[in-house]
A and B are shown apart, each in its own frame.
Chain A
Amino acid sequence: AQTVTQSQPEMSVQEAETVTLSCTYDTSESNYYLFWYKQPPSRQMILVIRQEAYKQQNATENRFSVNFQKAAKSFSLKISDSQLGDTAMYFCAFMKQNTDKLIFGTGTRLQVFP
C-alpha cells in the first residue's frame, strides 16, 4: 500500500522569504503522480502543483516549485517570495497511474508572517 508522510506539522516563514515543505512517500509503483494541495482557512482544496513520475524535470508554477527525487521517494515544495495569502495547510498527495485514488499526507500548516 502507498503511504505519504509529511514530517513537518507546522512551519512558519516571513513574508518575501523562501520556505520548503517536505514530503516522502512509499510505493512499489514506477508510474504515478504527485501533488501539492493548498487548503486555506476557507477550507477550499486548491491544487498547487503536479508532478508526473516519468518526468525528470521538476514542475514549477510561478512562485511554487518542487524538488522531485524519485530514487529517494522525496517530493518537497518550495515557495519563493512567500506572501500572506500563502498561509494555509499544505497537503502532499500520491496517485498511482491508471487510478484516480488520491492518497494524502497528514499536512503541514504554514504560517506566513509580515
Chain B
Amino acid sequence: DTAVSQTPKYLVTQMGNDKSIKCEQNLGHDTMYWYKQDSKKFLKIMFSYNNKELIINETVPNRFSPKSPDKAHLNLHINSLELGDSAVYFCASSSLGLPIYNEQFFGPGTRLTVL
C-alpha cells in the first residue's frame, strides 16, 4: 500500500507551459506539504495545508498555486513554467498534533524538467 503517492513521477515540459502535480495520501493525515529539491539537492518547504487551509506559505512565486480539494489530496499547479522551476518536488503528510511532533511521510517525488 502506497502511503503518499505523487503523479507523475517524471514531467518534461516546455517553458511557458502550465502543469500540475498531484499528491494523495491514504494515511488519514490532516496536514500535507510541498517541498522543492533543487539541482544541488537543497530541500526547502514551499507550502503546508491543514484541513484544506493554507498554513505555511514560503516565499514562492505566485505562479505556484497549491490546491487541496480534500484532506487526502494536495495538488501543485505551476503556471508559465520557467527553466529555474526544474527540480524534484516532494509531497509529504502528517497528523498535525502540535505541540507534539508527528512524523512527516514523504512521497516518491516528481522530477520536473523544463526545457
Contacts and interface: CB of A to CB of B under 8 A. Distances in A.
Interface of A: 33, 39, 42-47, 50, 52, 89, 91, 95, 97-104, 106-107
13 contacts: A43-B109, A43-B111, A47-B103, A50-B103, A97-B99, A97-B101, A98-B99, A100-B31, A100-B55, A100-B96, A100-B98, A104-B42, A107-B43
Given A43-B109, A100-B48, A89 B99 contact: no
Interface in B70-101: 88, 90, 92, 94, 96, 98-99, 101
Contact of A33 (B41, B56, B101, B109): B101
Interface string B96-115: 10110111101011010000
Nearest to B104: A102
Q: Is the interface of B mostly helix, strand, loop or mixed?
A: strand
A66 B96 CA distance: 25
* Residues of B in contact with A, size category: 20 to 34
Interface of B: 31, 33, 35, 40-45, 48, 55-56, 88, 90, 92, 94, 96, 98-99, 101-104, 106, 108-109, 111
B86 to A, nearest CB: 15
Nearest to A106: B42
B44 A104 contact: yes
Contacts of B99: 97-98
A95 B100 CA distance: 12
B108 A44 contact: yes
A25 B75 CA distance: 32
B104 A100 contact: yes
B41 A106 contact: yes
B79 to A, nearest CB: 25
B104 A104 contact: no
B98 A44 contact: no
A31 B104 CA distance: 19
B56 A44 contact: no
Given A33-B101, A43-B108, A101 B56 contact: yes
